[in-house]
Chains A and B, each alone.
Chain A
């Protein structure tokens, strides 16, 4: 029984928090099926060398052909197992699969700790089979789980970027080469929730948004919901990206140093008494490469990010508990060294404490305390631009639990208290400085019940109730009911559906038509507006005709109410800064994956429409891209050689065209009694909003990489070529001169990484 430990516990409810589960057990006792003579298997899957958890690993019980996946922490639970000896197959990409024999006893939770060794030999057939068994009734519509290893073979460009990796998914629109900002299913970027573990990051971008501020080296995995996200997530209308960080090597010290054309990075990890740590830092050293992103215009950007985390787990202190503390700091400056140009500064800071407990019974719970802040400042100098400062602080406490019934059904719930303070100082056209200082507390609780007892049907029914909101007009109570289901007709075909209501009461006050957004200032929804809300209707069909071929088809329809829109008709000081608009988006997404060693092909197509209605004018927002195609081919030739090619196509984005000019009466001084005769200046006459279309965007990227290992020393060399055929993709044109500004040209780059 190498690499594993198996222990048995009598099922008991000893922790006070169990009363929450007991209450729900009471209410749901009538649906508990006969579980006599059934036992449970609970496990943890990790790297044998570092003891780092392996997220989304595949677990299959061979005799039952039943499967499960580990969660983002490497844990899994399988309930309602027969009282007998069973063979458990654990597999994970890049690791040697292992089999374990476990003895399941009635009313007993059997523990399995599976440690998998790294291998260079790919066993994709085993992994895919396991994945398929695990997904049979999973309610995972619109969810993408991404282990960071899955991204490593894709073209990195200047360097691997987690946000840009999302943009190859159907339904995710890009802000262009010049922005890592992403738009999901016809919604603006400020409706995406980005969480680093459990902490919200409000502005996770470096250098005008060209790169994400989260260094991939510190990441273990990501969960990305394109919509229909479950009740544990709130405060955003569109999507959720949860980034799960590594815990670090629990057995030995190690490190990585890497250099790209943009940054130098250092990553350290190692054991501490009863735990582990990681420290990850990244700093740019040149802006030469950034010029390529802006038509050879200089971007005097200076940025860094730093992440540190320590975990502690000591059974003699507290059985099966894990504590972690982490800090994150990203900082950016754009200093022009020219008094006639404006300067910018912004940073994100977070501090998080997490207590995670695996109970004796099939219960997980966690307590999380987090602090997140964002500060952004525009310093106008003598440029004539208007100054702006934005400060946001977020303190959140949350408690979550998850309980697995003998029937395999699951109950999860929790509550969350968030205190947010936003401070916005800005200068108006008259030079007056105004300050908006708002403070709000949100208290909410959620519960959800997952019906997983049937192998062909799964459902997730739940909801969240907000007892108080940050601000916004109307009632302080808001309900977010949500449900999703999976019905697998036959093993190869599953029908999925999802519906939910979503609320957001923090908004950004940037204009979505802005070509380049340095940072988006956040404020709490003003009292004169109701919080924004959205309803998602999603349906999908998953077809897996063979172990190495899959098709996914999803359709969605989203309705959005009370969207906070910057008031472009704010004429007087008393006029509101924001007005309410509405919107809708609908579309279809198709994705296929095919694996034939050593190749892996992914192809996707999406079609979408998005509309906004502001003051009765209906228009397509700037990120409404009708057709998107992404084709990716990866090859792992063994011996450390890998190659990949990605081709992306996006139909042209809408923009507002010029319909002519006219001489407009321009009243400078209203007391001037001659202005009607001499105060005219030319003014652009615009066509209907966003009815023009920019040219299509397409780009081919190639990547070749080689891994060299000499004992413990590993070296990675990655050569990427972006925009291989040097397509002149249009970024924007200047209305005043008609000058065409293109995006990234043909750009070769090299990344070099050393790991010890």
Chain B
């Protein structure tokens, strides 16, 4: 009997031991990584860059981190490769919104005298206070090489037609055109009077709406290469005008200024970075992790270039009145 009791005691202990939880650590060793973000814009001479570092938190909610990850004191140099000109960024800070989880001012870097006037390879190098270097390359985009075709657009169309076709061309062709991506957009510029104050707003117009099981879904132009036009359905423009006031019965509080067709061009790096963020829960809805793209050597982030041009598209006052709005 004693043997049986001893056996049961041992067996019970073994069972208790092996039935315990094994602790799993969902986290591996913390990886210190720096992210450099800089998008050189062709439509301004004020260029901005930021550098932030990775962080860890107790638990799994990154919003509990209140230590400002943005780095100050880095040396950032921009080199216009075709001329060899270099531009040094200066660091400064920005007051954060009151609801920010960071209590300090945001550090960032800027140049206020660089506006690319022609297409050229460009590079950036950031040397962090700890000596670590982040580098990247891109090409500046010269928007004057592109022209939106002047067809005396107006809303509604001067002639019968269901669609407004905005098209553009590269005035001078380049072998690099295939590496350029386009984001066309049509917005309606309007004002809304709120408590006696006129607030300037914009309403983005989709290409069209598609019907889904959850109702209509607006389709906006996607970022693409090798496209030369964007076609907007006049019915969607009308619907966008209606949506400006939605259920607000005080239509006279809305002043419609005009529509603006804007053509944004980007290099491939920025296009991929932008598109990658839009692919979460893409086609197969099964991604465990969101795809991540970077062209920064030695770290994360994006160094890209962007430029834009736009034309005004007048909206006829008689047409505006149909909606009960005022024209500018």
Contact = CB atoms under 8 A, between A and B. Distances in A.
A386 B18 contact: no
Interface string B186-205: 00000000000000000000
Task: With a 10 A CB-CB cut-off, give which of B214, B282, B293 has the most chain A CB atoms.
Answer: B282
Interface stretch (B49-57, B76-84, B164-172, B245-253): B49-57
Interface in A414-456: 426-434
Contact of B28 (A665, A687, A724): A687
A708 interface: no
Given A570-B279, A671-B264, A385 B291 contact: no
27 contacts: A378-B285, A385-B281, A387-B213, A428-B282, A429-B281, A430-B222, A514-B288, A573-B222, A652-B24, A656-B289, A657-B25, A662-B54, A673-B41, A676-B37, A676-B50, A676-B108, A677-B48, A678-B97, A682-B63, A683-B290, A687-B29, A692-B26, A695-B21, A698-B18, A725-B16, A733-B26, A738-B26
Given A433-B210, A666-B277, A727-B18, A386 B185 contact: no
A687 B31 contact: yes
A330 B44 CA distance: 63
A661 B288 contact: no
Contacts of B302: 665
Contact of B57 (A432, A570, A661): A661
A104 B312 CA distance: 100
A658 B27 contact: yes
A111 to B, nearest CB: 56
Interface residues of B, number: 90
Interface of B: 15-16, 18-33, 35, 37-39, 41, 43-44, 48-50, 52-57, 59-63, 65, 69-70, 94, 97, 106, 108, 183, 185, 210, 212-214, 217, 219-220, 222-224, 262, 264, 266, 270-293, 300-302, 306, 308
Contacts of A659: 27-31, 54
A691 interface: yes
Given A677-B94, A737-B61, 16 more contacts: A386-B283, A388-B284, A426-B284, A428-B282, A429-B278, A429-B279, A513-B288, A514-B288, A515-B288, A657-B25, A657-B26, A660-B32, A665-B50, A671-B185, A695-B22, A728-B21
Contacts of B223: 572, 670
B52 A680 contact: yes
A698 B14 CA distance: 13
A662 B33 contact: yes
B19 A728 contact: yes
A660 B55 contact: yes
Contacts of A517: 286
Contacts of A696: 22
A663 interface: yes
Contacts of A573: 222, 224
A573 B39 CA distance: 24
A725 B11 CA distance: 11
B48 to A, nearest CB: 5
B280 A429 contact: yes
Contacts of A686: 289
A382 B212 CA distance: 11
A740 interface: yes
Interface centre among B26, B65, B276 (most CB of A within 10 A): B26
Contacts of B69: 662-663
Contacts of B183: 670-671
Given A667-B274, A677-B94, A685 B279 contact: no
Contacts of A694: 24
B30 A736 contact: no
Contacts of B212: 387, 427, 431, 433
A730 B25 CA distance: 12
A662 B55 contact: yes
Given A671-B264, A676-B39, A738-B60, A568 B287 contact: yes
> 10 closest pairs, A vs B, by CB?
A695-B22, A682-B62, A431-B217, A657-B28, A571-B275, A659-B31, A661-B62, A738-B60, A687-B28, A725-B19
Given A660-B30, A728-B19, A429 B282 contact: yes
Nearest to A388: B285
A509 interface: yes
Contacts of A685: 31, 33, 54
A434 B283 contact: yes
Contacts of B43: 673
Contacts of B49: 676
A509 B62 CA distance: 32
Nearest to B270: A670
Given A380-B214, A429-B278, A727 B63 contact: no
A735 interface: yes
Nearest to B35: A662
A269 B308 CA distance: 76
A148 B112 CA distance: 79
Contacts of A434: 283
Contact of A736 (B35, B56, B60, B283): B60
B213 A657 contact: no
Contacts of B70: 663
Given A569-B276, A677-B108, A657 B291 contact: no
Nearest to A342: B285
A725 B14 CA distance: 10
Contacts of A592: none
A577 B283 contact: yes
A510 interface: yes
A696 B287 CA distance: 25
A311 B28 CA distance: 60
Contacts of A433: 210, 212
Nearest to A622: B288
A573 B62 CA distance: 32
B313 to A, nearest CB: 16
A685 B300 CA distance: 10
Contacts of A671: 183, 185, 262, 264, 308
B26 A735 contact: yes
A667 B62 CA distance: 19
A280 B124 CA distance: 71
Interface in A560-612: 566, 568-574, 577
A736 B59 CA distance: 9
A684 interface: yes
A379 B282 contact: no
Contacts of A728: 19-21
A511 interface: yes
B290 to A, nearest CB: 8
Contact of A738 (B16, B22, B59, B272): B59
A544 to B, nearest CB: 33
Given A676-B38, A686-B289, A430 B219 contact: yes
A286 interface: no
A642 B18 CA distance: 27
Contacts of B33: 660, 662, 685
Contacts of B276: 569, 571
Nearest to B30: A660
A666 B290 CA distance: 12
B185 A381 contact: no
Contacts of A513: 288
B154 to A, nearest CB: 22
Q: Give the interface centre of B16, B56, B70 by most chain A CB atoms within 10 Å.
A: B56
Contact of A661 (B65, B224, B262, B284): B65
A604 B108 CA distance: 61
Contact of B106 (A675, A677, A726, A737): A677
Nearest to A692: B28
Contacts of A665: 35, 37, 50, 301-302
Contacts of A714: none
Nearest to B39: A676
Contacts of B26: 657-658, 692, 733, 735, 738
A190 to B, nearest CB: 14
A510 B60 contact: no
Given A430-B222, A670-B274, A673-B44, A733 B24 contact: yes
